[in-house]
Chains A and B, each alone.
Chain A
Amino acid sequence: MENWAIEAKDLVKKFPQRAPSNGNGAQTKKAPARWWPFRKREPKPLFTAVDGVSLQIERGEIFGLLGPNGAGKSTTIRMLCTLLEPTSGTAIINGFDITRQATQVRQSLGTLLAGERSIYWKLSGRENLEYFATLYHIPPAIAKKRVEELIERMELKERANELVEKYSTGMRQRIAISKALLARPPILLLDEPTLGLDPQAARNLRELILDLQKEGHTILLTTHYMEEADQLSDRIGIIDQGKIIALDTPEGLKRRIEQREIVRLEVAGWYEKMGEQVRQLPGIEDLTVRKVEGDDLWEVSVQSLNLRQSLPALVGLVNHNGSHLVNMNIQKPSLEDVFIHLTGKALRD
């Protein structure tokens, strides 16, 4: 048997169906107040958030889980870190079973969830780290040294005694990551580590993640930025609607659409029907359309097996009926295009 850092076996998570949320978990419709806090039992339809995820992650590897909003990335991470019980399936983390050996699993993991919201804003950075070090059962003398070491490393020395509420998002994220690193866990789970960071802070964090790998950590990270997954990951799992639909190295994934050429168009006055017409052109494989906000412009990405052949017809078509081509460039396939090829839709919209 191979000694994987993380091995997920057919993980499934079903939730009771809930009202459509606005993305941050808040319910849009407020239930009427009741004098009795229990709800009447109604048979609730189930919604499958994670649908049979199997993964084998090697020690020392950075594995990127790439997928759009609501794909089931966070739910997968929450099952791996024992916050959620899988509906079926299981996972072995560092040799420990997530359902039967939860405490050992938690000792093996450093988890970053919900970013800056995961630490106490009314405590200083140092107080936060000292607190979590104690909850990790790190002896006081070692904890003290370790906290200073992390504060130093994250370049937070000057501000370590200020309340976290006065920090920038990037600084809060660094405290949150330090919290995950406290006990020197062999495996790190990072859920959208760069979400909400400015480009500079995100770049620094990505460098930090690569350094952590060099120091021997196994890292499972989720993201919906393909450049990030591409740059960081040794292997990538593309997840959509709870299923891993492709799993390979970034190069391997891109090789799948190697024969394809990608052309990005900016079109003024795009209309629905044009999409169908483009799809029917010879050599056209996939197509996604995104409206440019606040402008009468659409970004259209077209994958073609033979651009030479399809380009003239394509240009003719969009310069028709009052709509016209504003800009156009031809690109090498990116992971975004792999995603479009696999799902027929854009990763971000």
Chain B
Amino acid sequence: MTVETQSLPAGSLARPSFSSDLRALWAVAYREWLYVVRYPTWALSLLVWPVIFPLLYLLTARALSGADGSGLAQFQANTGVGDYVGYIVVGTTIWMWQNVVLWNVGFSLRGEQMRGTLESNWLMPTRRFTYLLGSSIPHLLTMMLFLAISAFEFAVLFGVRFEGSLWLAMLVVLVSIPSVYGLGFAFASLVITAREANAFVFLVRGLVMIFCGITYPVNLLPAWMQPIAAFLPQTYIIRAMRSAALSTAGLEAIVPDLQILLVFGLAWLVLGYGMFQWMERRARKSGAIGQY
């Protein structure tokens, strides 16, 4: 909602325009970026978690398949993939991506609410969704870094051979972004108004963990659970990423999944935006923006 200049108060230095909107978006992103760099605690976890988290599953898998790997034939029959390490790390990495986005995007607003700066931003004549969008851009960059570091560590430490195509893998990431972040926006809105919303992180996390087949093919799920899996975008992200990064099946193999992901992405972005608007209205009634 940009105002025309003639309705501005006399003497005001503000000159709202389309480019000033963009500059505001950039300013929010840059400010968040400064916070990311000035609280560098996340850097260590960026290096450590990609390796630690899948280990649990990898060791379980090794125990179950026998020291000589004789159980692997069954795995290959179930999944069509021989490299169970690659199979598992793709699943866990996508799971962690969504998980970190929920925390980062969801709690970037919450953190400001607690520090007291959220109200300052809400007082500005800048559109409030610009603000949410801007603060998630730096986290998008750190997550790209996270995915790259993960892939590198898997190749070096676990000997995963990424036989697929880097370009296709990047395409999958790109197409997944709207769903992953749309969920983040929806979540950010919940966190501001519902006090015990971190319970919601655990809920989403658990759902993705069980239903989306992070370490096993979805068709191993009991029949009643499979339709639920079909409604979670992560199911498709994981499947497409496995194909793109680990197999040589090429673009055709993942096109259907990508199409579904685009639809999901659109739906989640719209839902995320809608929930944000709803939260804003609600908070204006309850005063939640200024509370901590």
Contacts and interface: CB of A to CB of B under 8 A. Distances in A.
A146 B13 contact: yes
Interface in A259-313: none
Interface in A129-166: 130-132, 134-140, 142-143, 146, 163
Interface residues of B, number: 55
Interface stretch (A63-71, A112-120, A316-324): A112-120
Contacts of B289: 83
Interface of B: 1-3, 7-17, 20-21, 23-24, 26-28, 30-31, 34-35, 38-39, 115-117, 119-126, 190, 194-197, 199-200, 202-203, 284-287, 289-292
B15 A114 contact: no
Interface string A94-122: 10000000011011110101100111111
Contacts of A113: 119-120, 123, 290
Nearest to A176: B120
A137 B20 contact: yes
Contact of B10 (A36, A143, A186): A186
A121 B39 CA distance: 12
Given A114-B290, A120-B117, A122-B38, A85 B284 contact: yes
Nearest to A107: B125
Nearest to A134: B27
Interface stretch (A177-185, A197-205, A237-245): A177-185
Nearest to A95: B9
A136 B124 contact: yes
Contact of A35 (B10, B119, B202): B202
Given A113-B123, A121-B115, A134-B23, A142 B13 contact: yes
A123 to B, nearest CB: 6
A133 B76 CA distance: 59
Q: When A and B form their complex, which 6 residue pairs have the shortest distance between CB atoms, in order from nearest?
A: A117-B116, A134-B27, A135-B124, A137-B20, A137-B16, A37-B194
A340 B115 CA distance: 36
A45 interface: no
A142 to B, nearest CB: 5
Contact of B117 (A34, A117, A134, A142): A117
Contacts of A16: 286
Given A38-B194, A103-B125, A25 B292 contact: yes
A310 B247 CA distance: 99
